[in-house]
A and B are shown apart, each in its own frame.
Chain A
Amino acid sequence: MTTAAELLAGIPELAGAEPVTRVTIPARLEYTYSPGSAQARFLTALPEKRLLAERCPQCTRVYVPPRGACPTCGIATPEQVELPHTGTVTTFCIVNIAAKGLDVEVPYCYAYVLLDGAHVGLHARIGETPYADVRIGQRVEAVWDDRRLGPSLASISHFRPTGEPDADPESYRRWM
């Protein structure tokens, strides 16, 4: 392998010059997202502290956030379902390292919360409890952030344990 320095050494005019091995070129991207009608309904309900899901007319699975169509059956999901603010932790991890550009203080507990009545987990942060106590099957409820209510999931600050007994594993086994 010929190094950049060796290459330069072969060119008399450039003898002793510092090779250029890195040039930093900043790039910036802003993404303007068009959520479509299903997600628009979901996002619009969030400032009212309502969680709007959709049920597939064929397989009857309930999706939150809704995407307007069932990914399995491939058909539109016009039926709205309002979900409660409680659910079950189906799995989680504790994130100890910060990702560049991610505005969350580490460590944090990143969990899949299966809202009662839903068939897919919502990505959520678990708080107000020591992370060592977080467990699969734990019952939790949404804590809304009144200062950040808006058409975004940032409206939910985190989920916290309800103190109920853990859910029966059969109730979430297929939806982990």
Chain B
Amino acid sequence: MSKQPVAVVGVGQTKHVAARQDVSIAGLVREAAVRALADAALDWADIDAVVIGKAPDFFEGVMMPELYLAEALGAVGKPMLRVHTAGSVGGSTALVAANLVAARVHGTVLTVAFEKQSESNAMWGLSLPIPFQQPLTAGAGGFFAPHVRAYMRRTGAPDTVGSLVAFKDRRNALKNPYAHLHEHDLTLERVQSSPMLWDPIRYSETCPSSDGACALVLTGERGAARAPRPPAWVHGGAMRSEPTIFAGKDYVSPQAGRDCAADVYRQAGVTDPRRQLDAVEMYVPFSWYEPMWLENLGFADQGEGWKLVEAGVTEMDGDLPVNPSGGVLSSNPIGASGMIRFAEAALQVRGLAGEHQIDGARRALGHAYGGGAQFFSMWLVGSDRPDR
């Protein structure tokens, strides 16, 4: 039996904030799930399986939270499974769910990703000593800052490029009611003079720590035909992994990321991503990762990504808008962040992105990465049902 095309018929997210003290983790994930079901005009009974994802348990200090979330997500009597691939988990969770539908294992799948970072300390969780290394890694920023410096050195990009990305994403976030940061008074000068946390990364070039959840309802052709609002069709999806450390690893442009993108474009029949895609939601937790991923994902030649940023190509009104939602730089419930990228790409091609809608978007990429730039997950969604 052949694969069936997969449609996104429901998208739900919470308003991402620093601390959701009014709800438990169960309440948080249910809120996103209820919104996704409402978008799809479906009820719990219509769901055949639940796929949940989150980043390391240390981020809340709750071991295996999926065990107690089954009832909150309507999974009693149904298959429920959890995915984990560090920061890329939101993306890989959606892909596992999509594959279950494509393979006709389940008809309609609810997939949910979350993080409630206010309940523990993610930076601590990311800084645990490793016995065979000097304990020097101060959170994700400390890990990625040297690789940002390597990118700057390799390409000769001006120091200001990171601030341009940060300012763009924070301004885009003002158009997204679900974004955590709504910094109305931010100026480019303030970004550039914000404190240096992990030199060369400044405070305003860094993602926040958020509480939030995202949910998607995925279904096949029959489900899409019944959906009250336009679906987003999955044209391609892929995951790739590589070791955290190996001789010759390119931290600036990892091979796994390049291979993952190439696989997705091949599935979707995309040969010139820069021209054939209308919007990109990429995982940019530190602003310099936008030019780095522009190169890794094939939107720019090696060493040229920063030039697209400087030329305004990735602005909301540029010809390759990147992170119209405000991106990870404006909302980062880590485990959910990848799924939010996938969800925002789907909203764009459904024409339902509201104030941050890119006019006429028909094809969009959702991208996530995690671990030591070693796990990648991406999907390419379109307004049209794929041919194959």
Contact = CB atoms under 8 A, between A and B. Distances in A.
Interface of A: 1-4, 21-22, 25, 27, 33, 35, 39, 42-43, 59, 61-63, 65, 67, 71-72, 90-104, 108, 110-112, 119-120, 122-125, 131, 136, 152-154, 156, 174-176
A72 B246 contact: yes
Contacts of A2: 22
A42 B132 contact: yes
A39 B132 contact: yes
A102 B248 contact: no
Given A95-B198, A104-B136, A21 B21 contact: yes
Interface of B: 15, 21-22, 61, 121, 123-124, 127-129, 131-139, 142, 145-150, 153, 195-201, 243, 245-249, 251-252
A94 B22 CA distance: 38
Contact of B142 (A25, A91, A95, A119): A95
Given A61-B248, A93-B201, A33 B134 contact: no
Given A96-B197, A125-B136, 6 more contacts: A27-B61, A93-B145, A93-B198, A99-B137, A100-B123, A108-B136
A110 B142 contact: yes
Contacts of B153: 91, 136
A99 to B, nearest CB: 4
Kindly list the 8 A-B residue pairs having the minimum CB-CB distance in the complex, ordered from nearest: A93-B145, A119-B247, A61-B247, A94-B199, A71-B243, A99-B138, A99-B127, A21-B21
B331 to A, nearest CB: 17
A110 B139 contact: no
Contact of B137 (A21, A63, A123, A153): A123
A91 to B, nearest CB: 4
A100 B121 contact: yes
A2 B247 CA distance: 53
Nearest to B142: A95
Contacts of A3: 22
